Amino acid sequence: MNIEGEQPTDSYVYDQANMIGAASADGKVKMIRFQGIVEGIPVRVLLDCGVGETFLSAQFAHDKCLPIRKMQSSRQCRGAIKGEDGQTVVTTVSEYTSPLAFSIQGYHQRMKFTLADLDDDYDVYLGMK
């Protein structure tokens, strides 16, 4: 979604995320888990309405031989993984995918993913901010 200055153009995703975010009466952004599909492969998706980047597990992408590209320069990212104490970890990312077929609950789009070492609980970290 948001790779080196690119912005998504499909408003449907934002409309859905805003509806989910608005459902949070306490002002905290909620994270919701879904089942999705990337290039025909089932994935576990974590939706976080408060984050603007979308990540794919680097291990998943390499294991499935998905098309991967190097970023022009590495950069820091925060939020895709948590440390042992539950604190957010800052990690360096340097790869992203070519546009991949992504489906979630009847919605289909080709999109790029930043590769990161994600928690073992999910394969895709879908940011919507």
Residue 2's pLDDT is 38
Q: Given pLDDT bands bounded at 50, 70 and 90, which one contains residue 60? A: very high
Taking alpha carbons only, the member of 48, 122, 41, 59 closest to residue 95 is: 59
Which CATH superfamily includes the segment(s) 11-127? Acid Proteases (2.40.70.10)
What does the domain layout of the chain look like in residue ranges?
11-127
105's CB contacts (< 8 A; 6+ apart) are 34, 36
Would you say residue 14 has pLDDT above 70? no
